């Protein structure tokens, strides 16, 4: 596997449904709001084999901009989640499902080294 840090960050951020800054929208809190720990695993393609990060879901909304990296998505009342990430010449999407304590799903994207795909899992962080 060839290491591509930029593509890895892009694809890891795809599943960052829980690693994002709050939006300015005035929505009510959801049962998924709070801090989460996320693990991203690559099952195909030339991306890092795994990546771990922490973050938040706020009002069920996902919105984050860091340099050229833009992440947007949401977690709906049923727990279904969708996230889209764009940055530079790359893009990725993640789909999955949350409960009040865990989440999991799949992701796929394309970066400088081609296509990558894998799975993600999340665990709510207790405060």
Summarised one tens digit per residue, pLDDT across range 14-52 is 544 334 434 334 446 899 998 888 888 999 998 878 878
State the DSSP code for 24. S
Measured between alpha carbons, how far is 61 from 125 in angstroms, rounded to an integer?
18
Our CA dihedral for 67, 112, 11, 72, rounded to 10 degrees, sits at 50
pTM: 0.74
CATH code given to domain 5-124 = 2.40.128
Model confidence pLDDT, tens digit, residues 46-86: 887 887 877 678 999 877 776 787 878 899 999 999 988 88
């Amino acid at each position: 596997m060839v290491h591509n840090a930029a593509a890895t960050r892009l694809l890891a951020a795809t599943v960052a449904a829980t690693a994002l800054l709050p939006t300015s929208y005035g929505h009510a809190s959801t049962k998924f709001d709070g801090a989460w720990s996320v693990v991203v695993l690559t099952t195909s393609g030339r991306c890092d084999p795994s990546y771990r990060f922490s973050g938040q879901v706020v009002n069920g909304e996902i919105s984050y901009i860091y340099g050229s990296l833009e992440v947007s998505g949401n977690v709906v009342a049923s727990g279904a989640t969708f996230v889209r990430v764009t940055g530079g010449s790359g893009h990725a999407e993640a789909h999955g499902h949350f409960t009040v304590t865990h989440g999991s799903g799949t992701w796929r994207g394309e970066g400088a080294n081609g296509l990558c795909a894998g799975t993600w899992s999340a665990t709510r962080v207790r405060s």
